[in-house]
């Protein structure tokens, strides 16, 4: 329950702060799609930084060192409250808006957002360490549920009932609660970790009956001892740093699938805002569908099957192509339905195949690092590269093509890919 609460609260705060900070800065820089795309790029890059920190601290630092480091970062994030930007950040007429937005977000929100972005992989790693017989991946579905609720509750509740300053204050108190929950999770994972129970005082005195063990138990215990204790009775190495390697193909797919989904998310949002209207609903809807696909795919293997979604992908690609050809001549509701439906099906394919390729929990920080890198790569392509390299808004076309190619590649690469059981 504690791990679930922490991961839900962290994800809720992570997505709640995005529209909150937008309420402060969007009027300063205008309300065009480019401003929101720049903000999304910042959030994705910082999410990548948080996942990278989670991966390298887990695999490069000793348990005591990474606990101390994370505790220091949590307290430092609290010291930067409140997150409200001052008037000094308002742009001058000749200021580069993209650079100004990135600097503002880094100064006002950088460390708290970075700390919150570590929640997913770190809490799942702590959970896997404390409960090695249980799968941590459903916590990722819960994390995305928290993100979705934050996204939907902001315009319908928080924005209408609280001032901007009050929203920032409540968010700050939420961060305090999150830091407390994180501290309890770190303590509980250490106490409940199997490695902390290997050398107990009572276990050192063995009864004659316990000495007559079966060969099977000898092999099992020898394997455990090789991971957890050395000749002096202390942990010889952190088991998190010794786990099975994964293939290069898997790593590339962990990167490419979320990158494709990210490109489609931002490209669809841009398309809707350009051809329909720049209203909050039209950037909330694509992001909500994107998060919903994560929730469905990571909740249970039975929610995604390649054959039905492969057929749905063909229909979705055809529907979006038809909407692109019709352009503004198509009725607004048909444009919204075609683009939103296409985005959801494509994200289900990308995230469903991603879940089917998930590794053993001992490699989950690598897995989530590649997911975050893919998301940032997709955001970088839409926000930075596409305006420089493309003569028009063709990123949606390329994203759709990439989605179809990736689905074919994954099916050819692993046609009989077996979905792991919930406990695997």
With beta carbons less than 8 A apart as the criterion, state whether 337 and 224 touch: no
With beta carbons less than 8 A apart as the criterion, state whether 357 and 254 touch: yes
Closest by CA to 272, choosing from 345, 343, 339, is 339
- Domain over 248-413 is classified CATH 1.10.10: no
pLDDT tens for each residue of the chain, 424 residues long: 899 999 999 999 999 998 888 888 887 877 666 777 788 778 888 988 999 999 999 888 888 888 899 999 999 999 988 888 887 888 777 777 788 888 899 998 999 999 999 998 999 988 888 888 888 888 989 999 999 999 889 888 998 899 989 999 999 999 999 999 999 998 887 776 665 554 444 444 444 444 444 444 443 343 433 333 343 443 444 444 444 556 788 889 999 999 999 999 999 988 887 766 656 677 788 989 999 999 999 988 888 998 999 999 999 999 999 998 888 778 888 888 999 999 999 999 999 999 999 988 888 888 999 999 998 899 889 888 888 888 888 899 999 999 999 999 998 876 655 444 444 4
With beta carbons less than 8 A apart as the criterion, state whether 107 and 222 touch: no
Q: How many CA atoms lie within 13 A of 227 on its CB side?
A: 15
Q: How many CA atoms lie within 13 A of 271 on its CB side?
A: 30
Q: How many CA atoms lie within 13 A of 68 on its CB side?
A: 5
Angle at 121 between CA 41 and CA 295, to 5 degrees: 75
- Sequence-ordered list of residues with C-beta below 8 angstroms from that of 280, at least 6 positions apart, any chain: 19, 155
**Crossing angle (nearest 10°) for helices 164-192 and 119-130:** 30
**What SS3 class is residue 80?**
coil
Unique residue bearing structure tokens 């019709």: 326
With beta carbons less than 8 A apart as the criterion, state whether 89 and 104 touch: yes
Angle at 159 between CA 155 and CA 160, to 5 degrees: 100
End-to-end Cα spacing for the chain: 20
With beta carbons less than 8 A apart as the criterion, state whether 128 and 362 touch: yes
Q: How far apart are alpha carbons 124 and 132 in whole angstroms?
A: 11
Element (H, E) at 106: helix 97-117
Topology at the third CATH level for domain 2-192: Growth Hormone; Chain: A; (1.20.1250)
- Domain limits, CATH 1.20.1250, in the chain: 2-192, 248-413
Q: How far apart are alpha carbons 353 and 351 in whole angstroms?
A: 5
């Amino acid at each position: 329950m504690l791990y679930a609460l922490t991961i839900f609260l962290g994800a809720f705060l992570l997505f709640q702060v995005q529209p909150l900070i937008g309420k402060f800065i969007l009027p300063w820089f205008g309300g065009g799609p480019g401003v929101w795309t720049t903000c999304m790029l910042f959030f994705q890059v910082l999410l990548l930084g948080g996942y990278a920190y989670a991966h390298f601290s887990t695999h490069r630092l000793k348990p005591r060192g990474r606990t101390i480091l994370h505790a220091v970062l949590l307290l430092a994030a609290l010291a930067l409250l409140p997150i409200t930007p001052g008037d000094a950040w308002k742009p001058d007429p000749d200021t580069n808006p993209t650079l100004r937005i990135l600097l503002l977000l880094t100064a006002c929100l950088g460390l708290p957002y970075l700390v919150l972005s570590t929640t997913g992989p770190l809490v799942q790693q702590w959970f896997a360490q404390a409960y090695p017989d249980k799968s941590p991946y459903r916590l990722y579905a819960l994390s995305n549920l928290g993100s979705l609720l934050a996204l939907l509750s902001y315009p319908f509740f928080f924005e209408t009932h609280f001032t901007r300053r009050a929203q920032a204050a409540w968010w700050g108190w939420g961060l305090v609660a999150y830091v407390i929950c994180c501290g309890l999770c770190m303590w509980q994972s250490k106490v409940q970790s199997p490695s902390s129970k290997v050398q107990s005082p009572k276990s050192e005195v063995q009864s004659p009956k316990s000495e007559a063990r079966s060969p099977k138990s000898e092999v099992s215990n020898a394997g455990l001892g090789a991971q957890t204790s050395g000749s002096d009775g202390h942990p010889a190495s952190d088991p998190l740093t010794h786990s099975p390697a994964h293939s290069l193909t898997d790593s590339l797919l962990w990167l490419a699938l979320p990158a494709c989904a990210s490109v489609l998310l931002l490209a669809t949002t841009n398309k809707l805002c350009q051809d329909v209207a720049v209203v909050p609903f039209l950037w909330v809807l694509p992001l909500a569908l994107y998060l919903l696909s994560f929730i469905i795919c990571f909740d249970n293997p039975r929610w995604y099957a390649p054959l039905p979604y492969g057929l749905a992908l063909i229909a979705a690609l055809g529907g979006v192509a038809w909407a692109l050809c019709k352009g503004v001549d198509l009725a607004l509701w048909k444009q919204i339905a075609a683009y939103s439906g296409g985005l959801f099906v494509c994200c289900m394919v990308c995230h469903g195949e991603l879940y089917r390729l998930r590794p053993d929990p001992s490699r989950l920080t690598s897995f989530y690092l590649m997911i975050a890198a893919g998301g940032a790569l997709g955001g970088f392509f839409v926000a930075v590269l596409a305006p420089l390299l493309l003569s028009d808004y063709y990123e949606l076309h390329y994203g759709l093509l990439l989605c179809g190619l990736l689905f074919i590649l994954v099916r050819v690469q692993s046609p009989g890919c077996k979905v792991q059981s919930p406990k695997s």
